[in-house]
Structure 1
Amino acid sequence: MRIILFGPPGAGKGTQARRLERNRGLEQIATGDIIRTAMKNETPVGLEAKSYVEKGELVPDEVVRKLAENAIAERGLDDFILDGYPRTTQQAEWLTEFEEKNEAPIHACISLQVPDDVIVDRLSKRRVHRQTGTTYHLDHNPPPEDVDADMIIQRDDDRPATVRNRLNVYREETQPLEDYYEGRGLLVRVDGTGDIKDVYQRINGVLDDLA
């Protein structure tokens, strides 16, 4: 099964992808992770990406494309969830070309639907341990009492004004992908609000219908 998991920042894509990975044997292919891994392993494409990151620049679409296609190929072209790719219509067109060339079509693009106000609330209450990187949430997963409070921080990009800006960028650059995949008959909208387990069951139901 070949799935794209789509939605705005804070919609819970990563959380749901990891659950699907554990329970359905689908490997999460997350753009950020594959870039970091390729850089760490110093693969040719990883070194190319690193040259941009070290200059504080965004990794170009063409490099991300190579990394995503390599990751899909390494997975045997099947049983994966794309998380964070494609992000633009051009990337989606590249992915379609890759699918058709390898006779490995995407089965569905699952779009998590979460209102902006809910996302702002979710992300503005997220906290991170400055040393371990462990993520907490003030409502749903607060830091344990034995953790030094001075080590718990709020990332700058989780502040409400920044979150709203990120959502605006998403609406302009990434949301048009819904139209692209709807036109191909692959878009499935799923309510991404409520308990994590409930959202997972909704996604799981979609995948059961595809199986």
Structure 2
Amino acid sequence: MRLIIFGPPGAGKGTQARLLEDHRGLTQISTGDVLRDAMDQETTLGKKAKSYVEEGELVPDELVRALAEQAIADEGYDDFVLDGYPRTDQQAEWLTEFLEEHQTPLHVVLRLQVPNEELVRRLSRRRVHAETGETYHLDHDPPPDDVDPELIVQRSDDEPDTVRNRLEVYREETAPLASYYEDRGQLVSVDGTGGIEDVYERITQVLDELE
């Protein structure tokens, strides 16, 4: 099965993609992870991306596209869930063209829907270990008791006002993807509220109907 999962920051895309990987054998393709792996392994694409990152610049869309396409090809063009790509209509069009070239169109695009204030609450409860960078969530994955509380901090981009700004950017830049995939008859909206397992159950119901 070939699918995309997308939604605003804090909607749980990565969590649900990992569950699909664990329980349904789909490979999670996160462009952020793919980018980091390519830089760590110093592949040709990774070296190009690193040159932008080291200069504090955004990695160009064309390079992200190449990394995403390579990751899909590595999976034999099947049994993957894209998490974090595409982000724009242009990227969506590129992806459609690429998959059609290999006769492997998407089966479904899942949009996780969560009210803004719930997203603000979720993200503002995230914490990070100041020394190790390990991420925690005060509700779902709190830091262990033996960790020094003074080392558990809130990132500036997880503060409520910053989260609201991030959500506004999402609405402007990424939300239009819904219209693109709705026009293609591939979009299915999923209620992203409630517990992690509740959301996963809703997703599996959609996928079961497609199989």
Deviation at 1:130, TM superposition (A): 2.1
Give aligned-pair identity as a percent: 68
Query: Is 1:12 aligned to residue 12 of structure 2?
Result: yes
Rounded to whole Å, the distance in 1 between the matches of 2:82 and 2:131 is 29
C-alpha distance after superposition, 1:68-109 (max 9, x if no partner): 000000000000000000000000000011011110100000
Q: What residue is the counterpart of 2:167 in the other structure?
A: 167
Q: What residue is the counterpart of 1:184 in the other structure?
A: 184
Query: Is 1:61 aligned to residue 61 of structure 2?
Result: yes
Deviation at 1:139, TM superposition (A): 2.3
SS in 2 for 1:62: helix
SS in 2 for 1:189: strand
Instruction: Using structure 1 for the length normalisation, give the TM-score.
Output: 0.98
CA-based RMSD? 0.8
C-alpha distance after superposition, 1:85-144 (max 9, x if no partner): 000000000001101111010000000000110000000011111233322222232222
Rounded to whole Å, the distance in 2 between the matches of 1:131 and 1:168 is 31
Instruction: Using structure 2 for the length normalisation, give the TM-score.
Output: 0.98
Rounded to whole Å, the distance in 1 between the matches of 2:72 and 2:139 is 36
Q: What residue is the counterpart of 1:82 in the other structure?
A: 82
Segment drifting more, 186-195 vs 139-148? 139-148
Segments of 4+ moved more than 3 angstroms: none
C-alpha distance after superposition, 1:30-83 (max 9, x if no partner): 010000001111111111111110000111110000000000000000000000
Rounded to whole Å, the distance in 2 between the matches of 1:104 and 1:57 is 33
SS in 2 for 1:133: coil
SS in 2 for 1:3: strand
Structure 1 portions without partners, runs of 5+: none
Q: What residue is the counterpart of 1:153 in the other structure?
A: 153
Structure 2 portions without partners, runs of 5+: none
Mapping of 1:29-178 within 5 angstroms? 29-178=29-178
Equivalent residue letter for 1:47: K
SS in 1 for 2:93: helix
Rounded to whole Å, the distance in 1 between the matches of 2:13 and 2:46 is 24
Q: What residue is the counterpart of 1:25 in the other structure?
A: 25
- Aligned pairs, number: 211
Rounded to whole Å, the distance in 2 between the matches of 1:132 and 1:63 is 29
SS in 2 for 1:201: helix
C-alpha distance after superposition, 1:184-204 (max 9, x if no partner): 000000000000010010011
SS in 2 for 1:42: coil
Rounded to whole Å, the distance in 2 between the matches of 1:131 and 1:210 is 45
Rounded to whole Å, the distance in 2 between the matches of 1:181 and 1:140 is 32
SS in 1 for 2:106: coil
SS in 1 for 2:85: coil
